[in-house]
Structure 1
Amino acid sequence: MKAFKAPKTSLGDLDAEAAAILITAAADVAIIVDAAGAVRDVAFNSESLAEELAGQDSWLGKPWIDTVAPDSRAKVESLLADSDAVAGRQWRHVNLLSARGASVPILFSAVRIGDGSRAVAFGRDLRQLSALQQRLLEAQQSLDRDYSRLRHAETRYRMLFQLWSDPVLILDPQAQKVTETNQAADRLLGRTPRRPAGRDFLEIFDPKGREAVELLLSGVRATGRADEVRVQLEEDSKDIIVSASPFRQESTTYLLVRLGIPVADANAIVLPKAKTKLLKLVENVPDAFVVTGQDGRIMTANAAFLDMAQLANEDQALGEPLERWLGQPGVELEVLTASLRQRGPVRLFVTTMRGEYGATTEVEISAVSVMNGVGPCYGFAIRDVGPRVTAPARASTRTPRSVEQLTELIGQVPLKDLVREATDVIERLCIEAALELTGDNRASAAEMLGLSRQSLYVKLRRYGLGDLPADGSEQG
């Protein structure tokens, strides 16, 4: 500490009031302590600190050591002991106790004045600094947790990548260099320490196959997807099926390249070309098709189902229950699966599908059950039967005339057609009853039914009731 060179001359006759003003201005809080360590007076230069330490009048006459937190008592004793020193005074972090019991961090330094019977403790408010330190600590802890999660996730994915049974490579599409390979790819390509992962990708294949692979990579870069190609390896002329898909990492696009071995072993199933074409047709038909397990969870779905359910890719549907998008949850899928188990294939089951973003579509479902290993799996063909242009109903169309005839149609026509037929039957019976009650007075019948005469004549012609002129002229 460097003191004033001539304090008596420069400060002049400094009285107690002036000293109090200087002390208050020099610190956020100032405490006068007597020789016994008791608080004699307190002054604040910070309104917020004065409010935080409201009730400080009760400190007067009490030992200063009793107004601080237990962990700060030793620091107060050290401050008072060092207050006699002219140089080398220490600043101590002391936690004062507020009226509500909270700790208020203050940085204190003490100075003996006069004949040494009094000491002034100058305090600086550390609340803002403490809050900043706390936020910094929380941010650091959050970063540590995020880093730990990322590290564990990377470890898991690297383990899965290495244990994947199919040969897989990570490719830089711009330089066409291999950046990473898994163990299966190393075994297939015969990688050794002399052949690092940074080799040219096209060198893996024979000259005839390089052009096909290069076209495949160009298609993936341009559209994000491409058909697989079958080529041969350069070293042993082994047939390989090459497929690729892009992914992004740190604003850079890489390709995940899978090398499939088209050799049927004892456990493999090789589909005939006709069956393979059939699967491709199912994938691209305009009607939705989805396969679920015995528990109703989706195993695979075609593009039309993804569009109807408003999903971006198949991964969002896999493992999810079909009833999440179908009809009334917990009801209609249970009815469908129960019917499949007990009666076999289901045809034209009418319901609705709900998309992820609220779109609702009227659909008809046909379903079938097939055995798959130890249990059945279910296939659902879902057709959109929403609003469409239909031919106007003809007067000659056969309409059921009674409830008995209507019930005979159950199981033969869809539910929505049954509802329409039931409405027509009820409407026809009401018109016949009104005509009978009014003695075939059509004006009175129209009034009784709440219809205009013209509307009644239209319905009479529709249902073939009464003798109406062919030219459309009617009489009451």
Structure 2
Amino acid sequence: MLTRKNSIEGKLHYGDFAGIFDDVDPDAAAKLSLIAGDICLVLDLSGRIVGGSADPKQFPELESWIGQDWQDTITVESRPKVMELMGGAREGKAQSWRQINHAAAGADIPVRYAIVTIEGCDRCLALGRDMREEAALQQRFLQAQQALERDYMRLRQAENRYRNLFEHMAEAVLMVEADTYRIREANPAAHKAFDAKPGSLSGGKLPGLFARSSRDALVAYLGSVVATASVAPLTLPTADGEAELTMRATSFRQRGKQFLLVRMNTGKNLDGDVAAPLLDVVRHMPDAFVLTDQHWNIVLANSEFADLIGAASVEQLIGQAVSEYVGRPGIDIDLIRGQLAKHAVARNVSTVVGATDAHGGEPVELSAVQTGDNEPFFGLVIRPVGRRMRDLPRADTESPRSVEQLTEMVGRMSLKEIVRETSDLIERLCIEEALKHTSNNRASAAEILGLSRQSLYSKLHRHGLGNFVAEED
């Protein structure tokens, strides 16, 4: 169906045509047709192109079109439109603009055409307007719209994921306005912690959920959270006095407004009456202790661990990756993880804490265990061994005394140095075995080993097996 937009039907006429166009010469008519469009095709009533005019830079194929049927120069989907335009021209109907796509070597050329018939003449004019700029603009608009739709879908998917996480978290979580302390959102765990009906916490004030005597401390704590990132957790009694909640809060901005993410833990996720004593034992352990989640992020640590790595407080470690403080990068944690996956326990693993590019770290001994569920937690007990190693009497030689000591050098020494230490170890073990086999007869031991007595005495001295003076042969 022909669109009536931009049709000449229904438009006001010039008035007295005779007074305007009677004296128009052919050159003026040609100029008028060229100005009316970017391309002008002269057609006979059968639809064959007998002439045309256009900018050769914009329409380089125009010369090859002359003499062809108009339908042979366009794409397949545009042919019904050309037939409709030519049929209307033969019947003298009012013309409307139709977009026709010309087939070109590079890309199709979109042109909007309208046909002007000449009374008493077997030819007509197809005036066209180049639509490539409009098509490019439409394509950019379509791409922008598609990009917006993709971003919207990603946003909806992310919102669904985080909403699902928020609703199913075992920890009580509240979204609070920082200036008014009004609760914007609360998850089901928060309603359960305060023994409230579902949905009743939204719109209320956070201080009203706690005992009146502790509200000043709560307001001071929330103010500190807005000012700084590292604030120790705060434990407060609820308004009904039935429980105490340990609160951790962080601040964030959204649309120019400050909000607080408040997380609360009652300790009831542990086994009833043993929760408090167990946590107290962990805090007062003489060895450093760390509890991590399945991603090896710290969820609990004692003060001994904070002292060991030089942290200001335990609270600032919560949520941090344990690999930032324990083990050589890319080595020890992967080794411990492999042992836990195979045996569910790792015992007396030699590693370091506080390792950097410029510092090798403090030697420690680590034991680890994991829980058996699908999302395991990992418990690490860490004991410093640097002081204990310094207190041991210094050996006469720096060579390793066993294969176990050699394997402990992996990661601390280069392979070349380890191979050199290995050859010294094998040499010393062979000499010891030869002396044992010959009842400490050095001459016989030298013969068994294929050495001269002078060489044997030198090696005995180097390995610290005896400070012997070589005998004359």
5+ residue gaps, structure 2, are 1-10, 387-393, 422-473
The aligned residue for residue 157 of structure 1 is 162
Shift in CA distance, 177/299, structure 1 to aligned 2, threshold 3 Å: closer
Residue 254 (1) aligns with residue 248 (2) = no
Shift in CA distance, 318/344, structure 1 to aligned 2, threshold 3 Å: closer
Shift in CA distance, 124/365, structure 1 to aligned 2, threshold 3 Å: farther
The aligned residue for residue 185 of structure 1 is 190
Shift in CA distance, 376/178, structure 1 to aligned 2, threshold 3 Å: closer
1:50 aligns with one of 39, 59, 65 = 59
The aligned residue for residue 370 of structure 1 is 368
Alignment of 1:107-126 (within 5 A): 107-126=112-131
Residue 201 (1) aligns with residue 201 (2) = no
Shift in CA distance, 232/313, structure 1 to aligned 2, threshold 3 Å: closer
SS at match of 1:77: helix
Residue 73 (1) aligns with residue 82 (2) = no
Residue 345 (1) aligns with residue 367 (2) = no
Alignment of 1:252-401 (within 5 A): 252-263=257-268, 265-266=271-272, 269-272=275-278, 275-278=281-284, 298-300=296-298, 317=321, 325-326=329-330, 344-347=347-350, 361-363=359-361, 365-374=363-372, 379=380
Shift in CA distance, 146/229, structure 1 to aligned 2, threshold 3 Å: same
Shift in CA distance, 406/189, structure 1 to aligned 2, threshold 3 Å: closer
Contact 2:336 2:346 in 1 (8 A): no
The letter for the 2-side match of 1:38 is: R
The aligned residue for residue 45 of structure 2 is 35
Deviation at 1:127, TM superposition (A): 0.6
Contact 1:326 1:352 in 2 (8 A): no
Residue 26 (1) aligns with residue 36 (2) = yes
The letter for the 1-side match of 2:330 is: L
Deviation at 1:88, TM superposition (A): 4.2
Residue 216 (1) aligns with residue 226 (2) = no
Contact 1:241 1:261 in 2 (8 A): yes
Deviation at 1:213, TM superposition (A): 1.6
SS at match of 1:197: coil
SS at match of 1:371: strand
5+ residue gaps, structure 1, are 284-288, 386-396, 424-476
SS at match of 1:132: helix
* Rounded Cα–Cα distance in structure 2 between residues aligned with 1:24 and 1:369: 89
* Rounded Cα–Cα distance in structure 2 between residues aligned with 1:211 and 1:352: 39
Shift in CA distance, 202/335, structure 1 to aligned 2, threshold 3 Å: closer
Q: Deviations over 1:13-69 (max 9, x none)?
A: 444344333322321111111011111112104x44224xx2x33322222122211
Residue 238 (1) aligns with residue 243 (2) = yes
SS at match of 1:151: helix
* Rounded Cα–Cα distance in structure 1 between residues aligned with 2:280 and 2:198: 44
Deviation at 1:277, TM superposition (A): 3.4
Q: Deviations over 1:94-125 (max 9, x none)?
A: 1111134x321111110012523111010001
Deviation at 1:369, TM superposition (A): 2.7
Instruction: Give the TM-score normalised by the residue count of structure 2.
Output: 0.65
Shift in CA distance, 334/169, structure 1 to aligned 2, threshold 3 Å: closer
Cα RMSD (Å) of the superposition?
A: 4.7
The letter for the 2-side match of 1:58 is: S
* Rounded Cα–Cα distance in structure 1 between residues aligned with 2:213 and 2:28: 98
Shift in CA distance, 237/398, structure 1 to aligned 2, threshold 3 Å: closer
1:90 aligns with one of 96, 102, 105 = 96
Contact 1:168 1:256 in 2 (8 A): yes
The aligned residue for residue 138 of structure 1 is 143
Identity %: 24
Contact 2:45 2:90 in 1 (8 A): no
